[in-house]
Structure 1
Amino acid sequence: DSAFGDATVRQVMDMTTALQYSEDYADPKADIWLYSAAASPMPKPANYKGPNGYYEYLQTVQKAGKHGDAFAYKTINTDALGWIVSRATNTDLAKLISEKLWKKLGAEQDAYMTVDAKGTPFAGGGISAGLRDLARLGQALLNDGEFNGQGIFPASVAQSIRNGADKNVFAKAGYNTMQGGSYRSMWWHFHNEFDAYAARGVHGQTIYIAPKADMVIVRFSSFPTAKNAKIDPTSLPAYEALASYLSAKQIEIYKK
């Protein structure tokens, strides 16, 4: 009976669900803070009467509009997807990531996921992982699902993400620093000359993949404002400058 009830899995993956939910971190009354209260693993206050845990909160979200009409980034889509994946595989999400990705990638370090009071892993964020291990994931995507000669996931998955999605649906969100972009399968696509796409955190954390430059960048960041639009004017040109440099070097090597 929630807003997710009549959404498709693809709409959840592409964040084109129509949800009555505000993720404005600057607004103390925004839904993100109600969501955070429900998700907190700490004991709830004595007078707390809201949902307890990610799954209980997701069931309270109401619909606003028509699914599929417009892109709108809302973290709760990722938690809904985590629930779908766990239900479909009958496996805890952290264990699934360990078996399907972390071990196959030969990660150097253990990774950690935030959990709610019931021990449910937070799919929408809160993961702690090593820089080089995240680069391994980026490299697997760059290499069409392969890393160190081992198939991590099908090439069709990497290609689907690389293709991006409907730019017109994305444009309705009004991202001035990502005009001409799109969003597919939880990845932001820039549709630039390098076919670059990225995983992006609200404080600047990034896995930036530029296939036509044969480049993966992983960046840790703790920018104080929870908004990529504040740092995109400097960050995105920097990534593209690196891609341009590497592309030129590849041409130079090829000519030699």
Structure 2
Amino acid sequence: MGRQIDALTFLPMDSDREMTWEQSLHANYTDGMQILHKGEVVYERYFGCLEEDGKHAIMSMTKSITGLLAEILVVEGALDDTRLVRDIIPEIGDSAFATATVRQVMDMTTGVRYSEDYSDPNADIWLYSRAASPLPKPEGYDGPDGYWEYLQQVEAEGNHGGAFHYKTINSDMLGWIISRVSGKSVTELASERLWRRMGAEQDAYQTVDGKGVPFAGGGVTAGLRDLGRLGLLMLNEGEINGERLFPAEVVRRIRGGGDPSKFAGFPTIPNGSYTSQWWVFHNDHVAFAARGVHGQTIYVDPTAEMVLVRLSSFPRAQNGFIDPTSLPAYQAVAKFLMNRE
């Protein structure tokens, strides 16, 4: 099976030259790749420094774990996604987040000022990183201390609910909301509701700021196989190993996607949307994914009953550079698996 998949060919986006599956793995600096079909592992490979007992930073796929926890709380009735942030977190004060709804935070349709241009040394992402650093603050530092202090001083930019804007601070705002309504940190809740119960074979880790608040927008490090289990949990609508971990409605709402009319600026996902911190492709296979910079992904294809997990170290942060030789490759594998049934 592995050799057959390696030999599969596909046409990258905007190209007239075919590429093999194996060539795409190297082109995209793949560190680990696992494919599950109908619950069975049909492909698993490791490259570079990653081995089967190793762990890898999953970057913004962390957001999808945070979003999944929030959607579970919404469906179970513990979190009202129509409430304003300030009604749940009064400490948010006059921050632009105060007047956003929980759903707008979950779907990243808030109107908040935050630049995530990694190539700009003056971008907000680096100010945020300085606030979040667990190391002692340098002498003379007078900025916010920790994720939540940063969120309290965020300024407005545009209107809430107008359009999708990918900004990590939404994920940490959501993490704060989850912590307040559940009485637990996102790490505790993920451990109790997901990791332990899905039969994970390795611990996962999550970075924290200087006050011990987990980085809900990108701090998780985990093993390839356990991310496959998470993908399988999403494919099977909340069930794994014969046990239901959360209502099927949670995945159905995520898979249904957000409002495509609010989603723009991602040419490799032309018909896509974003909801509950998950990317939804609205393609023929109803695929949806968790995604992180430098090539991290959990790609769920319900039509092909396939879960694909890639861990990667692509040198540029934007996944738009990787998608042209990845998304068509995933679709080629899906078709191959369906045709062999």
Please tell me the TM-score bracket, short chain as reference: over 0.9
Aligned match for 2:301, one of 187, 210, 216: 210
Partner of 2:7: none
- Under a length normalisation based on structure 2, what TM-score does the superposition of the two structures give? 0.72
| 1:153 shift after superposition | 1.1
Quick one: distance in 2 between partners of 1:229 and 1:92? 32
CA RMSD of aligned residues (A): 0.8
Partner of 2:311: 220
* Greater RCO structure (CA 8 Å; 6+ sep): 2
Quick one: distance in 1 between partners of 2:125 and 2:131? 10
1:65 partner amino acid: G
Partner of 1:161: 254
Post-superposition, which runs of at least 4 consecutive aligned residues in structure 1 deviate over 3 A?
A: none
**Gaps in structure 2 of 5+ consecutive residues:** 1-93
Quick one: distance in 2 between partners of 1:112 and 1:149? 26
Aligned match for 1:42, one of 124, 127, 135: 135
Quick one: distance in 1 between partners of 2:317 and 2:124? 15
Partner of 2:18: none
Quick one: distance in 1 between partners of 2:180 and 2:324? 40
- Under a length normalisation based on structure 1, what TM-score does the superposition of the two structures give? 0.95
The 5 A counterparts of 1:107-256 are 107-171=200-264, 174-250=265-341
Bigger strand fraction = 2
Quick one: distance in 1 between partners of 2:331 and 2:104? 29
Aligned to 1:200, what secondary structure does the other structure show? strand
Aligned match for 1:55, one of 148, 158, 162: 148
Quick one: distance in 1 between partners of 2:186 and 2:99? 23
Contact 1:194–1:243 (8 Å) recurs in 2: no
2:222 partner amino acid: A
Partner of 1:78: 171
**Gaps in structure 1 of 5+ consecutive residues:** 251-256
Identity %: 64
| 1:88 shift after superposition | 0.3
Cα distance per residue 1:152-206 (max 9 Å; x no partner): 11100000011111111012xx111111111111000111111111000011100
Cα distance per residue 1:2-40 (max 9 Å; x no partner): 111011111111110111111111111110000010011
| 1:71 shift after superposition | 0.3
